[in-house]
Structure 1
Amino acid sequence: MMFVPNGETQALGVFQALRAALGTGLHSFTIAGMDLDGSLIVTQIVGPAGPVPGAVLTEVAVDLSRCLTFGGGVVSRSFSEEGSEIVRGWRAVGDGVLQPLTAGEVFDSFCINPNTGDPVSPELGVEYAAGIDLYDGSGGEVSPSH
Structure 2
Amino acid sequence: MAITLQDRTPYEVERSAALLMGFVNALGEGCHHLVVAASAKGGTLSISVPFHNDGETSDLDPVDAVEAMAVLALASVVGGGAVMRTHFADRTSEVRGWKLVEFYAKPLSASEIFSAYCTDPATGEPIAPEPGVEYMAAPRLTV
Gaps of 5+ in 2: 1-5
Distance 1:8 1:34 in 2: 19
Contact 1:73-1:91 at 8 Å conserved across structures: yes
Equivalent residue for 1:62, pick from 70, 74, 78? 70
Q: Secondary structure at the match of 1:69?
A: helix
Equivalence for 1:139: none
TM-score, structure 1 length as denominator?
Answer: 0.82
Kindly tell me the number of residue pairs found equivalent between the two proteins.
132
Distance 1:91 1:19 in 2: 16
Gaps of 5+ in 1: 136-141
Amino acid at match of 1:132: P
Equivalence for 1:138: none
TM-score, structure 2 length as denominator?
Answer: 0.84
Equivalence for 1:104: 111
CA-to-aligned-CA distance 1:26-56 (integer Å, 9 cap, x gap): 1001100036x66421100112121323212
1:15 aligns with 2:20: yes
Identity %: 30
Distance 2:14 2:62 in 1: 13
1:40 aligns with 2:44: yes
Distance 2:60 2:120 in 1: 34
Q: Which has the higher strand share?
A: 2
Matches within 5 A, 1:1-146: 5-34=10-39, 39-49=43-53, 50-94=58-102, 96-135=103-142, 142=143
RMSD, aligned CA? 1.9
